Amino acid sequence: MKKILFALLFSLVLVLAACGGDDSESKEADTSSDTEQSTETATPDPNNEVNIVASNFEFDKDVYAVKAGEEVKVSLTNDEGMHGIIIEGLDVTIDGEGEATFTPTEPGEYKILCSIMCGEGHGEMVSTLVVQ
Ligand SMILES: [Cu+2]
């Protein structure tokens, strides 16, 4: 009889331990999303040769930076799927893979969006071009 009681207690401990494990997993997921947000705000050094690589459904960087008053060459490569770019406010469009050149004059932040309806994640394809 004692053996059965011990077995019951032991299985109860196992169930409690399993619940505790689930809690710590969800906490880990929260902290990883925090670190993602902090990298989004960092602005890289300006480079007027911008190579953007698109995949399903994001561009390879959250922020690209260029210098104002100098010619900028943007190229787009599709690593996965079929995407294009529109840079809002700068009249720059690349549909599919290709290049475009332009000279930004106004410093500021411009949105880079996907120009091709590529699927479910299309609306999430947003990056920023910082003109310094
Ligand atoms: Cu798209």
Q: Give the tens place of pLDDT for each residue, 81-127.
A: 999 999 999 999 999 999 999 999 999 999 999 999 999 999 999 99
- Dig out the tokens for 79 from the structure: 């690593």
User: For the residues 6-17, what does the mean pLDDT come to?
Assistant: 61
- Dig out the tokens for 23 from the structure: 């809690």
Instruction: Find the 113 Cα to ligand 1 centroid distance in Å.
Output: 8
pLDDT at 62 over 70: yes
Look at the pTM and tell me if it is higher than 0.85: no
If one counts every other C-beta atom within 10 angstroms of the C-beta of residue 76, the result is 23
* pLDDT attached to residue 19: 52
Instruction: Find the 18 Cα to ligand 1 centroid distance in Å.
Output: 41
- Dig out the tokens for 19 from the structure: 């619940």
pLDDT at 9 over 80: no
Q: Residue 11: which pLDDT band, with cuts at 50, 70 and 90?
A: low
If one counts every other C-beta atom within 10 angstroms of the C-beta of residue 128, the result is 18
Q: Are 107 and 68 in contact (CB under 8 A)?
A: yes
* pLDDT attached to residue 42: 82
Angle at 37 between CA 44 and CA 19, to 5 degrees: 145
pLDDT by residue (tens digit) across 28-57? 555 544 554 444 568 999 999 999 999 999
- Dig out the tokens for 66 from the structure: 């260029």
Instruction: Find the 17 Cα to ligand 1 centroid distance in Å.
Output: 45
Q: Are 90 and 129 in contact (CB under 8 A)?
A: yes
- Dig out the tokens for 120 from the structure: 């479910």
User: For the residues 67-79, what does the mean pLDDT come to?
Assistant: 98
User: For the residues 61-73, what does the mean pLDDT come to?
Assistant: 98
